[in-house]
């Protein structure tokens, strides 16, 4: 019996597949990003630094990145709870809840922003009730945080959910039979297996939130130095025909986002290496 040493692949040969991949990525990703660097290069270093360090731009950076980090952190907690309920429990309306999680994916961002503003405005259904306690959501940084939580939650749930579905319940039962409390079982058995998925969901939610414009712009209020996000500063520069200034702000956002996402990826790799070393030690 003769065996073919070459593996059969669905896609054509490596050279052709790799060439098509690089060409596609160049057209869709690399060229647009390269244009940002090229346009920003028309500015001197002093001009670039002046654009991105003006008080108004710095305030927008602090708001966009700070609110995105807080929103992603909140989504990690409540996204895990949602995924846990959907996977481990059966209840009436479970399929409806599961479908509603994907709503921010399908809903136009402008519609989401208008809906949130209508709900949380001082005369809205929820905003009017909160106003009695002196809590104002719409047209404040709190409203921006709410919009970022809304659009980022599905990323965490859909990232964690498959891991929970594949996780063996017998591991938890074994821990319980050995006398472990629920918190100890979650901390030492469940959480280590979910940590890579949680970090991935956090990174995706953060990346979506930091560049979000449509759902945030309506509820933000857009007050300079108070509730003005960084993407709005880019739009403002474009409306003023300051294309170099707009690309300078975009480049600063790109570099900051890349650094944060790279740090998260390195943390994932570090945790994976620790788990691999621990498993090898147990085998030995």
In a domain, 152, yes or no: yes
Q: What is the pLDDT of residue 176?
A: 76
pLDDT band with cut points at 50, 70 and 90 for residue 6: low
The yes-or-no verdict on residue 118 having pLDDT over 50 is yes
The yes-or-no verdict on residue 272 having pLDDT over 70 is no
d(CA 283, CA 77): 33
In a domain, 23, yes or no: no
Q: What is the pLDDT of residue 1?
A: 45
In a domain, 4, yes or no: no
pLDDT digits (tens, 9 = 90+) for 27-55: 888 888 888 889 898 899 999 999 999 99
pLDDT digits (tens, 9 = 90+) for 69-78: 999 999 999 9
In a domain, 209, yes or no: yes
**Domain around 246:** 45-279
Question: What total of structural domains would you count in the chain?
Answer: 1
What number is the average pLDDT over the span 228-257?
Answer: 92
Q: What is the pLDDT of residue 57?
A: 94
In a domain, 105, yes or no: yes
217: left (phi over 0), alpha (psi -120 to 50) or beta: alpha
pLDDT band with cut points at 50, 70 and 90 for residue 185: confident
d(CA 74, CA 152): 10
- Give the CATH number of the domain where residue 248 resides: 1.10.3720.10
**Residue 283 in tokens:** 């085998």
In a domain, 29, yes or no: no
| More confidently predicted of 166 and 175 | 166
Query: Which residue has 């995924």 as its token pair?
Result: 83
What number is the average pLDDT over the span 235-261?
Answer: 91
């Amino acid at each position: 019996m003769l065996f073919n040493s070459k593996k059969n692949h669905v896609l054509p040969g490596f050279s052709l597949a790799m060439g098509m991949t690089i060409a596609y990525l160049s057209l869709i990703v690399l060229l647009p990003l390269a244009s940002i660097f090229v346009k920003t290069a028309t500015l001197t270093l002093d001009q670039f630094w002046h654009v991105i360090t003006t008080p108004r731009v710095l305030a927008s950076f602090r708001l966009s990145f700070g609110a995105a980090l807080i929103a992603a952190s909140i989504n990690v907690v409540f996204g895990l709870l949602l995924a846990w309920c959907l996977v481990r429990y059966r209840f009436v309306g479970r399929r409806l809840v599961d479908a509603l999680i994907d709503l921010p994916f399908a809903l136009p961002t402008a519609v989401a922003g208008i809906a949130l503003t209508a709900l949380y405005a001082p005369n809205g259904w929820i905003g009017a009730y909160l106003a009695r306690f002196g809590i104002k959501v719409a047209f404040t940084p709190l409203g921006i945080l709410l919009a970022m939580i809304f659009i980022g939650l599905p990323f965490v749930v859909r990232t964690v959910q498959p891991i929970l579905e594949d996780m063996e319940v017998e591991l938890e039962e074994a821990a319980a039979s050995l006398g472990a409390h629920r918190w100890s079982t979650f901390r030492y058995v469940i959480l280590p297996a979910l940590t890579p998925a949680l970090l991935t969901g956090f990174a995706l939610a953060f990346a979506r939130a930091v560049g979000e414009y449509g759902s945030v712009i309506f509820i933000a209020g857009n007050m300079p130095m108070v509730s003005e996000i960084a993407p709005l500063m880019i739009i403002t520069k474009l409306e003023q025909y300051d294309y170099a200034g707009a690309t300078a702000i975009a480049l600063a956002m790109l570099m900051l986002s890349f650094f944060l996402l790279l740090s998260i990826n390195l943390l994932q790799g570090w945790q994976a290496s620790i788990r691999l070393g621990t498993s090898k030690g147990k085998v030995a």
